[in-house]
Structure 1
């Protein structure tokens, strides 16, 4: 069953990729197998809806990939997982509420005071060295 799932996933991913490349006029650069699958898809579009033609082509690719990956016999039926429709995945920008201003506590005030004292002390030492050192 793992081979079947991998083959189905690969078939769906490859078909979506090849279909997009074909829409961008790059189908001539695809491998011959991909061009054959796309040609069969285009012929199916004449008889079926786009969704039916897509699923039929993916089933055909799945069978080929299943055999290629070493699956024996007829490939088992893999039910595609139905994706939930995406309504809107864009989040509106909201300005964050301002943080309330807190009053400085004693440790924070003490930290600022000690830094200021160190700076003043270093300035005094610098001035003393410049004035009194020959």
Structure 2
């Protein structure tokens, strides 16, 4: 069953990649196997809707990958285990719990000097140095 799941996952991923490259006009850079699957997909598109053609092509790729990966016999149906699709996968936003703050001390041990006082001291030092060098 592990081989079947890996083959199915690889088939779906490869098909999505190849289909996007074909849309971007890069199909000529794909390997011959990929080009063959895309050609069969284009042929299926002419006779059925896109979703059905996509599923049919992925099933063809899945069977080929299953045999290539060493699966014995016919490839089992991997997607049969999926229950009804999830309609709502949105998670509600929750605010984080507020962090505890440290209580402030009643009296700061060192009072802060106002900015204006510091600026005035710098001016006095500058003027003093200028007069000293003259």
Q: Verify same fold: TM over 0.5.
A: yes
Q: Which residue of 2 aligns with 1:30?
A: 30
Q: Which residue of 1 aligns with 2:40?
A: 40
In structure 2, the CA distance between the partners of 1:83 and 1:13, relative to structure 1 (3 Å rule), is: farther
Q: Which residue of 2 aligns with 1:128?
A: 128
Mark the runs of 5 or more structure 2 residues left unpaired by the alignment. Answer: 89-107
1:8-42 per-residue CA deviation (whole Å, 9 max, x = no partner) reads: 22211221222222233332221100011111112
TM-score relative to the length of structure 2: 0.64
Aligned length: 112
Query: 1:84 offset after TM fit, Å?
Result: 4.8
Distance in 2 between the 1:52 and 1:72 partners? 27
1:93-134 per-residue CA deviation (whole Å, 9 max, x = no partner) reads: xxxxxxxxxxxxxx8xx75x5333222212211111111234
In structure 2, the CA distance between the partners of 1:72 and 1:114, relative to structure 1 (3 Å rule), is: farther
TM-score relative to the length of structure 1: 0.64
Q: Which residue of 1 aligns with 2:57?
A: 57
In structure 2, the CA distance between the partners of 1:83 and 1:6, relative to structure 1 (3 Å rule), is: farther
In structure 2, the CA distance between the partners of 1:13 and 1:74, relative to structure 1 (3 Å rule), is: same
Structure 1 runs of 4+ with >4 Å offset: 80-85
Partner SS, residue 119 of structure 2: helix
Distance in 2 between the 1:23 and 1:133 partners? 78
More helix by share: 1
Mark the runs of 5 or more structure 1 residues left unpaired by the alignment. Answer: 86-106
Partner SS, residue 45 of structure 2: helix
